[in-house]
Structure 1
């Protein structure tokens, strides 16, 4: 029997939606005075890597882990970058604003789950960017779901 409740990945619109989100987000980063310096030397494939990571975290295919080595790889990308809380907050706010711009689902259940992951993940990135942080080579890939909700918001008649 298949699960009638879609994953967050499916609800967001799958890989196409997440690739559009990260592509547009990183376009906007270039004009953001707080974030632009962090990503000034970003690889052209960075948006696709972030989209694949988000896809896997939100219940989609494990392509990021297969191609890059999962969560330990992501942690290593943040080591010694000395990210600040102001940069973290700006990153989360701009990503959510971009989600609104592109029309990603804005129902309360989905957005609370998305915000929950972005808050958790971005705070972890700040911690892992400070002096002395190390990547745990056994760190499992985070998997985010609907949390305490009974499932996704369905509009009347949906």
Structure 2
């Protein structure tokens, strides 16, 4: 069976998806305070993260700072629940706009991935100490069964 990465259309499809998503985030009044004017490298990093999570190349871990860098990027952002929910909403809307596969199994996996990841990011963004961080310390591997596997 194809990985989620392959089913999505590989790196080109994920990059198109992330570009659409990132553009919507930068234009959104709820999320823009978290992202500022944006960083050019963010599209590449999120594309690599999603690719690795969905069973593609491990470039995010190997070349882009991996999960420790992701934890650092979210520290002290103080993400709120409304911001987390808006992030999820725009992520799923971008999947439609980018024409990622619309089959129920893929979309369920995509939604569970962004729900889980946004909750981890919110927890880490509000952690005052390392003990308050989410215990996840590596890029999760998402499967067709809608479960993260380290």
Common fold by TM > 0.5: yes
2:53 aligned residue: 57
2: CA distance between counterparts of 1:110 and 1:38? 28
Q: CA deviation at 1:138?
A: 8.4
Higher Cα radius of gyration: 1
Asked whether the equivalents of residues 18 and 51 of structure 1 are also in contact (C-alpha less than 8 Å), the reply is yes
Residue 9 to residue 133, structure 1, CA distance change in 2 (3 Å):
farther
Count of residue pairs brought into register by the alignment = 145
Select which of 121, 141, 144 maps to 2:142: 144
1:110 aligned residue: 106
2:80 aligned residue: 84
1: CA distance between counterparts of 2:10 and 2:87? 21
Residue 96 to residue 136, structure 1, CA distance change in 2 (3 Å):
closer
2: CA distance between counterparts of 1:44 and 1:69? 16
RMSD: 2.0
Q: Deviations over 1:71-129 (max 9, x none)?
A: 22211111111000100110110011011011101111001111111111000000000
TM-score by structure 1 length?
A: 0.85
1: CA distance between counterparts of 2:127 and 2:143? 31
Residue 148 to residue 127, structure 1, CA distance change in 2 (3 Å):
closer
Residue 124 to residue 10, structure 1, CA distance change in 2 (3 Å):
same
What is the DSSP-based 3-state SS (H/G/I as helix, E as strand, rest coil) of the residue aligned with 2:30? coil
Task: Provide runs of 4+ in structure 1 moved above 2 Å.
Answer: 133-138
Residue 105 to residue 133, structure 1, CA distance change in 2 (3 Å):
farther
2: CA distance between counterparts of 1:138 and 1:26? 24
2: CA distance between counterparts of 1:56 and 1:16? 14
| Unpaired stretches in structure 2, ≥5 consecutive residues | none
Residue 95 to residue 30, structure 1, CA distance change in 2 (3 Å):
same
Normalized per residue, the structure richer in helix is 2
